[in-house]
Amino acid sequence: VLTDEQVELIRASATAVAGANIKATDVFYTNLFKAAPGVRPLFPESMFEQSEKLWQTIAKVVASADDLSAIQNELREMGARHVTYGAEPAHYAVVSEVLIQTLAILTPEDWTDDTQAAWQAALDAICSTMLEGKAQRVG
Amino acid sequence: VSADLRPLWQADPFAQHSATQLVQDACNLKVLSYKFALLGVSSEVLGRDKLACRIEAQTALDAFVASFANLRAPWHQCDMGEGHVAPQAQICPPETEAILTEFERMARHICAAFEQGDPPDPAELSDLVRFVAGPLCDANTAILEAANCIALATRTDTEKIALTDLRTGLPNSHALKNELARKDSKGGCDAAVARIHIDMTAFRDAHRGADMTAKDAALKHAATAITSVMTEDDFLARVDRDLFALVLYGAQSEDALERRADVIIEALSAPFVFEGKMHQLRPSIGLSLKDKTDDVDLSRCMTNADLALYHAKTAGRAAFRFFTPFLQTQREQKEKLHAQIRIGMDTQQFEPFFQPQVEGRTGKIVGFESLARWHHPTRGLLAPINFLDAAQDAGLLKELDEYLMARTLASMRRWLDDGLAIPQVSLNLTGSRLLETNLVETMLFAADKSNLASSMIGIEILESAMIDNDSKQMMDNITGLAQAGFKLELDDFGTGHASISNLKNFKVDRIKIDRSFVKDIHLYPELSKITGAMIGLAHALRVDALAEGVETPEERLVLNALGCDHFQGYGISRPMPGSEIPRWFKRTQSKTMLIAARA
């Protein structure tokens, strides 16, 4: 559960990233493939479509940041789907780390420890919900 | 008739007609003179009706005089070149002419008597009959023989002309055909065949607008060059515009033939001077060897050499190539492909696929490129590289292009009607289509038919199509298309050596940076500098830059940083059938706005 301040911090940094000159999803995947080259084969050829999908998800999370339970089912289903994509639990930590790193790079002036903590909390919650979906699927 | 006559008759365009007429006139002289004599005798001896005899005799004499005049007519003595003997002098020498004139005088005298109603003088009649049966008969016989002889010579020369290439004096394609048929009918022989093509492009360019003399000069030079390195047994013919065929009789090894080809190429490549300018021809040779035990005949050998020549020409400067069975297989495959393309067009196996082009930063659609695809019945889905050249060879390119264009524009119309905001669809035009005379009208008609503004249609032109092409038609078409409102795009930008000059010469709306400047751009700083300079150049000219072949987020990141406007490539999407576009559009173009989410 995020505090109101954390929700605001997340929304402010997401808006800043959306307006940045550089496309956040390109930076994210570039960093991700550098940090974990092994995951590259898990992604499709058209990374354009994949990036759009990621951005839609980020937008949805930001919109529901004040009440993540509203998208709980959706996140669980997404977690279940990721099993078929070949995603493993260890990947979730890498993805979270790279996403935070990306956001920090794109909004260096607004980035604070509080912002980082807010995103970390949100991503932890999302990852654990998704992993629940994965567990259900596997179970 | 001496052999000297031949060139004269050969040069006369009326030669054949003249010769036939000549024989006719010679026959007339003989028959009419006999007829006249008989009429005279019959009126006197048989007491026939004087008036009837008079009329018939006069008619016979008139006809005789006409034929005699014909023999001396100018068209029997046409265009006498120096050293040629006039046919009239040969057919009707002065002594013969004197005999004929004497007969005419005697006959007129008898006719005059008839005219006055008097019977002809028996003594005069008797002299006439003796003259007709004696000297006149001999003279007429001599004339007829000469006429027949000339007719024969003319016929021979007409046949000879039919077998001669008048520009070079060499045997022509008919003569070659005869030669091959003659040798083939005699059974197998050892031989080799060389098909020699002379590329005279440079020479023609240097003498553009020049008369036949200039072109003949180059041909004659080629003919002389080949002849100078021929042996006595070889047979050379000029068989087409810039094409010669050489048959080398006797057993040949491949090495020996290679040496002969080298010698021919050397002779043909030797510089020569025409109108004060130094020129050099560029030959290509196709070779085919034939053993007397081979199944192939000489005609087939010639076809094989032709195939080898095709490969020699593509090999580049002054090359020769041997025929191999592989070439044969290749040719058969090509013919099969042509047939399949025809069937494919009849059965609608061709379909336009569409590849999205998106804005670099936002991912917003800016257009689709229409790309031809062939649903081949056994080979699966084929891209243009597998059939475009073959379609052009088979003369089907224009038809195929227009079919795909109509389907592309109809698809675009449907998407717009369905509410998809697609700004533009781009078509590819090959170099050959850019040379068509009514191209602008054709394009405007097609746009109008689908009710599309020309500004919604991009026309992609390969840089290579414009390089070294100073065709006025092409320039007019490109200018015309731009004026008509079509969006011009330079395809494969950077690969041609005229990239920048093309930007100067044409109003271009977008450059499409070739994939070689895009692939792995994030790994090579020097490459990104070059690509960045191209993008900067485009922007300086207020032209959009599109990166082709974009595949990875890393490439997109760098290209974005370089300010590249538009992306296209597998990393965005592979080309897809029109039916998939609405779904793709929905998946990628419906944006969730963060600001809206906040509210």
Q: What is B195-257 written as a DSSP string?
A: EEEEE-HHHHHHTTT--HHHHHHHHHHHHHHHHHT--TT-EEEEEETTEEEEEEES---HHHH
Out of A15, A21, A30, name the one closest to residue B594 (CB). Answer: A15
pLDDT band at B210 (very low <50, low <70, confident <90, very high): low
Q: Do B554 and A62 touch (CB under 8 A)?
A: no
Beta-bridge partners for B243: B197, B240
Of A15, A33, A52, the CB nearest to B363: A52
User: Cα–Cα distance between B84 and B4 in angstroms, integer?
Assistant: 6
With CB atoms and an 8 Å threshold, state whether B573 touches A49: yes
R_g (Cα) of chain A, nearest Å: 15
B414 close to B401: Cβ distance less than 8 angstroms: no
- Per-residue pLDDT band for B188 (boundaries 50, 70, 90) equals confident
pLDDT (0 to 100) of residue B544: 95
pLDDT value at residue B16: 53
Rounded to whole angstroms, the Cα distance separating B25 from A4 reads 125
For residue B552, give the nearest of A28, A47, A63 by CB distance.
A47
Each as own residue / partner, the long-range contacts of residues B461-464 (CB below 8 Å, 24 or more positions apart, any chain) are B461/B429, B461/B434, B461/B488, B461/B489, B461/B490, B461/B491, B462/B428, B462/B430, B462/B431, B462/B491, B462/B492, B463/B490, B463/B491, B463/B492, B463/B493, B463/B495, B463/B496, B463/B498, B463/B499, B463/B502, B464/B431, B464/B492, B464/B495, B464/B496
Please give the average per-residue pLDDT across A95-115, as a whole number. 94
* Range 476-505 of B in CB contact (< 8 A) with A: none
Question: Contact A14/B594, CB-based, under 8 Å?
Answer: yes
Chain A partners within 8 Å of B584 (Cβ): 49
State the virtual CA torsion across B42, B46, B49, B52 in degrees, nearest 10. Answer: -20
CB contact under 8 A, A47 and B597: no
Instruction: Please tell me which of the candidates A22, A29, A48 has its beta carbon nearest to residue B560.
Output: A22
CA B355, CA B548: separation in Å to the nearest integer?
A: 11
Report the residue of chain B nearest A31, measured CA to CA: B554
Those residues of chain A whose CB sits closer than 8 Å to some CB in chain B are 11, 14-15, 18, 21-23, 25-30, 33, 45-49, 51-53, 55-56, 59-60, 62-63
Nearest CA in chain A to B573: A46
Please tell me which residue of chain B has the smallest CA distance to A48: B572
The percentage of residues in chain B with a pLDDT greater than 70, rounded to a whole number, is 87
Per-residue confidence (pLDDT) for residue B26, from 0 to 100: 87
Q: Which has more confidence, B499 or A130? A: A130
Query: Two tokens at B458?
Result: 């991009």
Per CB-CB distance under 8 Å, the chain A contacts of B597 are: 59-60, 62-63
Q: What residues of A are in contact with residue B588 (Cβ under 8 Å)?
A: 48-49, 52
Query: Which residue in A7, A11, A26 has the most chain B C-beta atoms within 10 A of its own C-beta, making it the best mutation to test that interface?
Result: A26
Q: Which of B50, B28, B26, B29 is nearest to B39 (CA)?
A: B50
DSSP state, residue B269: H
Asked if the C-beta of B237 comes within 8 angstroms of chain A's C-beta atoms, the answer is no
**Tokens for A49?**
């479509």
Structure tokens at B104: 């005419």
Q: What is the pLDDT of residues B135-170, one digit of tens each?
A: 899 888 888 887 787 777 776 677 777 888 878 889
Residue B598 has pLDDT above 70, yes or no: no
- pLDDT, tens only, B327-370: 888 888 888 999 999 999 999 999 999 999 999 988 999 999 99
562-591 of B, contacting A, C-beta below 8 A: 567, 570-574, 584, 587-588
Distance of CA B570 to the CA centre of its chain: 42
Q: Over the stretch B510-561, which tens digit does the pLDDT of each residue have?
A: 999 999 999 999 999 999 999 999 999 999 989 999 999 999 999 999 999 9
Q: In angstroms, rounded to a whole number, what is the distance separating the alpha carbons of residues B155 and B562?
A: 80
B561 touches chain A (CB under 8 A): yes
Contact A11 B593 (CB under 8 A): no
For residue B457, the distance in angstroms to the closest alpha carbon of chain A comes to 24
DSSP calls for A40-55? GGGS-S-HHHHHHHHH
What is the model's pLDDT at position B209?
Answer: 55
- Alpha carbon of residue A79 to chain centroid: 12
In our burial notation (b when 16+ CB lie closer than 10 A, e otherwise), range A99-112 reads bbbbbbbbbeeebe
Tens of pLDDT, residue by residue over B20-70, are: 778 888 899 989 999 888 888 887 766 777 777 788 888 999 999 988 888
- With CB atoms and an 8 Å threshold, state whether A15 touches B598: yes
pLDDT-derived band at B597, boundaries 50, 70, 90: very low
With CA atoms as reference, the chain A residue closest to B362 would be A23
Are B573 and B584 a contacting pair, CB within 8 Å? yes
Cα dihedral across residues B111, B113, B117, B119: positive or negative = negative
Strand ranges in B264-319 using DSSP code E only, listed in sequence order: 272-274, 277-279, 282-290
More confident residue, B517 or B593: B517
Cα nearest neighbour of A46 on chain B = B571
Given a contact cutoff of 8 angstroms between Cβ atoms, the answer to whether A15 and A7 are in contact is: no
Partner-chain contact A59 B592, CB within 8 Å: yes
Q: Which candidate from A11, A22, A48 shows the least CB-CB separation from B571?
A: A48
Angle value at C-alpha B79, between B75 and B85, nearest 5 degrees:
90
Stretch B77-86: mean pLDDT: 39
Task: Look at residue A135 in the predicted model and tell me its pLDDT.
Answer: 80
pLDDT at A75: 93
- pLDDT of the residue at B293: 73
- Distance between CA B6 and CA B11 in Å, rounded? 8
B492 to chain A, closest Cα gap in Å: 22
DSSP label at B445? H
Looking at A65-79, B107-121, B253-267, which range is the least confident one?
A: B107-121
Q: Do B556 and A60 touch (CB under 8 A)?
A: no
Kindly identify which residue of chain A lies nearest to residue B575, measuring between CA atoms. A46
Contact indicator for A131, A79 with CB cutoff of 8 Å:
yes
User: Nearest CB to A26: which of B358, B553, B584?
Assistant: B553
Confidence of residue B309 (pLDDT cuts 50, 70, 90): very high
Strand ranges for B94-227 from DSSP E:
191-199
Task: Categorize the per-residue pLDDT at B596 as very low, low, confident or very high, splitting at 50, 70 and 90.
Answer: very low
Contacts of B506 (CB under 8 A, 6+ apart): B478, B479, B482, B488
Contact status, residue A50 vs residue A106, Cβ threshold 8 Å: no
For B553, nearest residue in chain A (alpha carbons): A26
Q: What's the pLDDT tens digit per position in B375-416?
A: 999 999 999 999 998 998 888 999 999 999 999 999 999 999
Closest residue to A63, CB basis, from B561, B570, B597: B597
Q: Does the pLDDT value for residue B216 go beyond 80? A: no
Neighboring chain B residues of A15 at a CB cutoff of 8 Å: 594-595, 598
Q: Identify the pLDDT of residue B314.
A: 83
On average, the pLDDT of chain B sits at: 85
Contact A46 B572 (CB under 8 A): yes
CB atoms B361 and A25 under 8 Å: no
- pTM across the whole model: 0.64
Q: Is there a contact between B553 and A33 if contact means CB atoms under 8 Å apart? A: yes
Q: Which of B31, B35, B61 is nearest to B140 (CA)?
A: B31
- Please, which residues bridge with residue B511 across strands? B490, B545
* B594 pLDDT higher than 70: no
Q: How many CB pairs under 8 A join A and B?
A: 80
Least Cα distance to B459 among B400, B541, B401 occurs for B401
Which of A42, A48, A105 to substitute to test the interface with B, most B CBs within 10 Å?
A48
Of A15, A21, A51, the CB nearest to B553: A51
Q: Are strands B320-322 and B350-359 parallel, antiparallel or unpaired?
A: unpaired
For chain A, say whether B84 makes contact (Cβ under 8 Å): no
Among positive and negative, which fits the CA dihedral B387, B392, B396, B398? positive
pLDDT of residue B558: 95
Residues of chain A neighbouring B593 (CB-CB closer than 8 A): 59
- Residue B593 pLDDT: 60
Q: Do A26 and B557 touch (CB under 8 A)?
A: yes
Phi-psi domain of B513 (left: phi exceeds 0; alpha: psi -120 through 50; beta: other): beta
- The string of pLDDT tens digits covering residues A49-100 is 999 999 999 999 999 999 989 999 999 999 999 988 888 889 999 999 999 9
A47/B553 Cβ within 8 A: yes
DSSP code for B164 = B
